[in-house]
Each structure stands twice: as structure tokens, then as C-alpha cells.
């Protein structure tokens, strides 16, 4: 068997699953967003769904909220993750335990973290009780609204909780691969600690930080269950709004849901383009 044939056969099952399920799902979603589905008699595509969502203020509120959640979570997580990696790369007593605890919540699903945030930060949650104990507040409603709030603070805290170790583990491995020699050279040539971090270490770990951040941004932009649990009723995050439209008793809302899915997909396509452009060499087995 020639190599070409062998490669094709090895790849065939995986391609079948990804092309049919993933790209098939995307394509059908795209078609339905244009009200085009010959198999159920919709043969004349139109822009109705897009016109309808783009003329509804709720969509803009929802999009801005979702962008705010994803952007803020990604930036805070990345900064804290670099800080955490700088701490953890040193050697200290109990490093093994600390590393284990650091990795522990990588395996805890977002949903559990979200419920934890609810029990910690709601107005009758653990922190509100501590505040009452220290006489900072008299009743639950005195505690600031950190979940179900318009600024999505609870959602962002949950993502930061979950993504700091994710980005941190990747950055830490980068730092360990690079070693501290370059920084030592910079320091011996008179660079300050900050300068050797900013101009020597940072440029070297940047591709890793960027690729992890892109994965985090896309995830936090498209996740459903966390904003569904911790978010305010209005505006709802875009994935929550799309799900509500899709499961609406009024079937006419379905193309609008599909249009929102298409918008999320386009945003992710842009992210993939950035990923490929700047992080290409990391793709092979180094997600």
C-alpha cells in the first residue's frame, strides 16, 4: 500500500466524524439561519432572522455582555496565571502538594465551580454570613449582589477560578522549558527584575499565553451552563439567549437561534485564524 493510501485510510474515520457531525452541524445551522431547508419545503432563503435579531436591542445587550464576560475573564485569568506560574516555578517546601492543589480544579467541571460560587457569594452565601458575623451587614440584602448581577461578576469569578490553573499549567511548562539562564544573563548585564521579565521572559512565553487565552476566550464566549446558572435574567448571555430562542414554543424563533449560533461560530473562526497565525507551531500535540 502506498503511503498516500495509508494516510487517507488512517484519517478517513476521524474526518468522517468531524466533517459530517461538526461541519455538517455548522452548515445546517447556517442554512436554517437563512430560512433555507429544502427538505422541509423551505426553498427560498432570506435574511429575516438576521434582520430580526439585528433590529432587537436585546441582541446587542446580550452580545456586549457576553463579550465583556469573555474578555474580562480571559485578561484577568492570563495575568493571574502568569503570576501564579512565576510563584510555582521556584522550589519551596511542599511544592508537590501545592502543585496538586493547583491542578485539582482543572478536573472539576465548570458547573460545580458555578454552584460553589453561588453558595459562596450569593446574598445569603458564606461570605455574606461572614460579613454578618463581623457586623458589616445587618441582613442578606445589604450584601452586594455578586451573582445574578448585571456586571456578571459571579460568572467572571467562576471563569477566573477555573482558568487560572489551566493557563498557569501551560505557562509554567513553558517557563520550565525555557529555564532561567536567559534572565540571569539579562540580570548580569544590568537589567532590573522587571526589565528581565518584561523584555526577556515575557516574549518567550507569549505564544503559549496567547494560545491558551484563545481557547479560554472561545470557551467563555460560548459556554451555556455557567451564565444560565449565575447570570441575570436580562440581558442573558448569547448562548443562553440562543438556547431560549431555539426551545421557544414559537418555531419561528428557531432561525434566529441559528443566526446567533452562526455569529458565535464566525467569532471563533476569527480566533482560529489568530491562533494559526501566531501559535501554529504549537498545534501538534501541544494544544
DSSP per-residue codes, 8-26: HHHHHHHHHHIIIIIIHHH
Find, among 79, 70, 71, 76, the residue nearest to 205 by Cα. Answer: 79
Interface mask (CB under 8 A) for another protein, residues 194-233, using x and -?
--------------x---x-xxx-xx-xxxxx--xx----
- For helices 254-279 and 24-33, angle between their N-to-C axes, nearest 10 degrees: 130
Residue 230, classified by CB atoms within 10 Å of its CB into exposed (0-12), middle (13-18) or buried (19+), is: buried
Q: How far is Cα of residue 214 from the mean position of the Cα atoms in its chain?
A: 8
Closest of 249, 226, 248, 250 to residue 238, by C-alpha? 226
Residues within window 143-172 making contact with another protein, judged by CB under 8 A:
158, 161, 164-166, 169-172
Per CB under 8 A, 253 contacts another protein: no
Of 14-53, binders to another protein (CB under 8 A) are 14-15, 17-19, 21-32, 37, 39
Binding of another protein by 72 (CB under 8 A): no
Q: Which of 51, 87, 202, 252 is close enough to bind another protein by CB under 8 A?
A: 87
User: Which of 46, 124, 184, 248 forms a contact with another protein (CB under 8 A)?
Assistant: 124
Query: Could you say which of 129, 150, 185, 202 contacts another protein (CB under 8 A)?
Result: 129
Beta bridge partners of 42: 37
Stretch of 48-56, 57-65, 78-86, 147-155 contacting another protein, by CB under 8 A: 78-86
Residue 46 vs 176, nearer CB to another protein:
176
Say if residues 117 and 230 touch (Cβ distance below 8 Å). Answer: yes
Judged by CB under 8 A, the stretch of 54-62, 96-104, 178-186, 194-202 that binds another protein is: 96-104
Amino acid at each position: 500500500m502506498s503511503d498516500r493510501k495509508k494516510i487517507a485510510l488512517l484519517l478517513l474515520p476521524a474526518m468522517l466524524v468531524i466533517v459530517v457531525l461538526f461541519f455538517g452541524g455548522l452548515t445546517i445551522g447556517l442554512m436554517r439561519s437563512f430560512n433555507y431547508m429544502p427538505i422541509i419545503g423551505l426553498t427560498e432563503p432570506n435574511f429575516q432572522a438576521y434582520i430580526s435579531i439585528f433590529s432587537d436591542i436585546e441582541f446587542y445587550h446580550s452580545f456586549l455582555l457576553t463579550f465583556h464576560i469573555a474578555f474580562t475573564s480571559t485578561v484577568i485569568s492570563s495575568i493571574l496565571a502568569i503570576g501564579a506560574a512565576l510563584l510555582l516555578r521556584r522550589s519551596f517546601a511542599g511544592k508537590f502538594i501545592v502543585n496538586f492543589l493547583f491542578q485539582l480544579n482543572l478536573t472539576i467541571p465548570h458547573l460545580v465551580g458555578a454552584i460553589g460560587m453561588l453558595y459562596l457569594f450569593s446574598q445569603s452565601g458564606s461570605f455574606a454570613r461572614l460579613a454578618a458575623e463581623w457586623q458589616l451587614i445587618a441582613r442578606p440584602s445589604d450584601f452586594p449582589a455578586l451573582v445574578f448581577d448585571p456586571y456578571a461578576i459571579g460568572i467572571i469569578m467562576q471563569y477566573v477560578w477555573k482558568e487560572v490553573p489551566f493557563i498557569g499549567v501551560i505557562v509554567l511548562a513553558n517557563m520550565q522549558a525555557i529555564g532561567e539562564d536567559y534572565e540571569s544573563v539579562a540580570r548580569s548585564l544590568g537589567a532590573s527584575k522587571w526589565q528581565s521579565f518584561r523584555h526577556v521572559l515575557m516574549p518567550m512565553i507569549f505564544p503559549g499565553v496567547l494560545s491558551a487565552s484563545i481557547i479560554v476566550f472561545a470557551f467563555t464566549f460560548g459556554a451555556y451552563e455557567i451564565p444560565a446558572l449565575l447570570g441575570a435574567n436580562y440581558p442573558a448571555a448569547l448562548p443562553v439567549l440562543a438556547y431560549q430562542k431555539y426551545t421557544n414554543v414559537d418555531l419561528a424563533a428557531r432561525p434566529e437561534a441559528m443566526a446567533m449560533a452562526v455569529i458565535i461560530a464566525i467569532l471563533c473562526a476569527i480566533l482560529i485564524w489568530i491562533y494559526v497565525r501566531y501559535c501554529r507551531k504549537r498545534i501538534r500535540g501541544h494544544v
